[in-house]
Structure 1
Amino acid sequence: MRRLLDRLYAAALWLAAITFALIAVLVLAQILGRLTDRVARLLELPPPGLTIPSLAEFGAFLFTGAVFLGLAGTLQAGSHVRVKLLIRSLPEAVARWLGALVCLGAAGLAVFATWSSGLQVADSIAFDSVSYGMIPIPLAIPQGVMTAGLALFTVALVDSAVTLATGGQPGFDAAETRTERGD
């Protein structure tokens, strides 16, 4: 099960990275299109008008997907901000259980966010909601990606809570330990 979860977190991180790269490619294409127009004007030629319609919407939807897909993997990599003043001052067993409770509390919030996001996806499907840009995009697509990212984040939080409660070292602790050692 551990390998499956770690692969799932890694796959979501790769999808997030690919999504960020896609944003960069779209923006670069838009910039090159504008430069082509300017060069054409300088040469007194008609500008070809190369543009990507609804680029702002595509970028926003891709960015949202990247952020939410990256939540679980960045938690496991120890990249989320954590304040450990209290936990470091407690005995190890107490700190472990407090960490597990915090993860479960965060998982409860993530379950609520996932549920709410899922309801929004269902509404978007029921009402055939689309974006308002030049290219109508079914809103259920970016909302579905967001919901999937939240669901995976919930799984990662529960995974960390169970790992702490059973005496293991969750991914974020292992990553922070490697960082402190300079590995």
Structure 2
Amino acid sequence: MRRALDAFYRLGGALSAINLTLIMVMIVVQVLSRVLDELLAWLGFNPLGLNVPGLAELAAFMLLGATFFGLAYTFWQGGHIRVTLLLQRLPQSAHRVMDILALLSAAAITAFAAWHSAWLTWDSYDFGDLSIGMVPVPLWIPQAAMVMGLLWLLVALLDALVSLLSGRIAQLHDEVPQE
């Protein structure tokens, strides 16, 4: 089970990286096409007009995917910000209690956000909402990425909570033994 969950989190990280890579490729192509058009105009030729309308909106939607798909992977790798100033001064038992309370709170907040994001996504789908901009994108598509990312994070939080409660890890972001 541990290997399957780790692969699940790595998949989220990979999807996040793919989104970031696509954003970079789109921006580089856009910049190079503008440079080429300027160079052609400077040389006295007609510009090719390779400007892609709506690129900024598409990049914003991909940034949403990159952010939310990467949440669970980043959490499981210990990349989220934690305030350890107090935790490092607590005895091990109190540290464990604080980790459990933090995971319960984070799971509740994430479940709440996922639930309401899912309703928002359903409403956008049901009403046929489209993005405002050059390229009309059905809003439920990027919103679905947000919901999936939140659900991914919820699984990671619950996984960490079960691992902590079962004693497989002593405190949050300790090494999880491989099964």
TM-score, normalisation: structure 1: 0.91
Once the two structures are superposed, the pairs formed by residues 31-180 of structure 1 within 5 Å of their partners are 31-169=31-169, 172-174=173-175
What letter is aligned with 2:41?
R
Q: Distance in 1 between matches of 2:75 and 2:120?
A: 25
SS of residue matched to 1:85: coil
What letter is aligned with 2:3?
R
Q: Deviations over 1:49-72 (max 9, x none)?
A: 101110110110000110010000
SS of residue matched to 2:79: coil
SS of residue matched to 1:44: coil
Aligned pair count reads 175
Shift of 1:91: 2.2
Q: Distance in 1 between matches of 2:105 and 2:160?
A: 12
Q: Distance in 1 between matches of 2:3 and 2:172?
A: 12
Shift of 1:84: 1.7
SS of residue matched to 2:80: coil
TM-score, normalisation: structure 2: 0.93
Q: Which has the higher helix share?
A: 1
* Uncovered stretches (5+) of structure 2, i.e. residues with no partner: none
**Does the C-alpha gap of structure 1 residues 38 and 6 become closer, same or farther in structure 2, counting only changes over 3 Å?**
same
* Uncovered stretches (5+) of structure 1, i.e. residues with no partner: 176-183
Specify the alignment match of 1:22 in structure 2: 22
Aligned-residue CA RMSD (Å) = 1.4
Shift of 1:89: 2.2
SS of residue matched to 2:38: helix
SS of residue matched to 2:13: helix
**Does the C-alpha gap of structure 1 residues 130 and 94 become closer, same or farther in structure 2, counting only changes over 3 Å?**
same
